[in-house]
Amino acid sequence: MKDLRPSCPLHSEEHASLLLDYCARRLDPDRKAALEAHMEHCAACQELRSAQRLVWDSLDSWEASDTGWEFNQRLQERLRQEGRPAWMDSVSTWREGISWKPAVPLAAALALWLMVFPPNGFNSSKPSAPQQPDQLEKVLEDVQMLQQLPLGRR
């Protein structure tokens, strides 16, 4: 394994985000210009920039897939096993619940909805089944986790 430990003081944990932000194109123009001016004369930074770009490009080439429809089908089946509540079977619920414009994204959501929960598979009178105790425990854990998160939108 090649030792890339450079000699420039910028390559410390303290300044860790500087070069990462640069390679990720997240650096603001002023800091970018300052770093580029430094890089012109710093061989260690140039080497690190090349190596980091190589990592970046390598990670870009690692693709992942998604089964999409099949995944939705399986999820639908699991929701059904859990005893979907009556509101999920009601076609009128989504019609009343949404008043957004334009209609195209809504139509896309509806198409997906119909794909996930086809109307002929519904049993509109089926009541919601009680959750298992271990499921309830996980629900409470997840909700507690949400409550512990710092406010993200402010």
Partner 1 sequence: MPLRSVTLMMSGNNLPQPAMANGVGKGMAVAATLDFDATLMLRVRDGCASSYATLLERHRTPVIHFLFRMVQNQAIAEELAQEVFLRVYRSREKYEASAKFTTWLFRIATNLAFNWLRDEKGRKAQDSLQDETASNATKKLCDRAPSVESRLVYEVKLEEIRVAIGLLPEKQRAAVLMHKYEEMEYSQIAKVLGCSESAVKSLLFRAYECLRARLAHYG
Of 3-42, which residues contact partner 1 (CB under 8 A)?
3-4, 13, 16-17, 20, 24, 28
Minimum distance from residue 38 beta carbon to partner 1 (Å): 18
* 22/117 with CB nearer Zn ion: 22
| Dist CA 105 CA 46 (whole Å) | 46
- Chain centre to alpha carbon of residue 112: 19
Q: What is the DSSP string of 62-117?
A: ------THHHHHHHHHHHHHH---HHHH-HHHHHHH---SSHHHHHHHHHHHHHHS
Of 54-93, which residues contact partner 1 (CB under 8 A)?
54-56, 58-59, 61-62, 64-68, 71-72, 74-75, 78-79, 82, 87-88, 90, 93
| 38 in Cβ contact with 45 (< 8 Å) | yes
Positions that interact with Zn ion (CB under 5 A): 8, 10, 42, 45
- The 92-131 contact track toward partner 1, x by CB under 8 A, reads -xx--xxxxxx-xxx-xxx-xx--xx-------------x
| Dist CA 19 CA 13 (whole Å) | 11
Q: What are the distances in angstroms from CA 140 to CA 74, 90, 105, 129?
A: 24, 27, 33, 18
DSSP element (H, E) containing 56: helix 43-60
Establish if 145 lies at the interface with partner 1 (CB under 8 A). Answer: yes
Query: Rule CB under 8 A: which residues touch partner 1?
Result: 1-4, 13, 16-17, 20, 24, 28, 48, 50-52, 54-56, 58-59, 61-62, 64-68, 71-72, 74-75, 78-79, 82, 87-88, 90, 93-94, 97-102, 104-106, 108-110, 112-113, 116-117, 131, 135, 138-140, 142-143, 145-147, 149-154
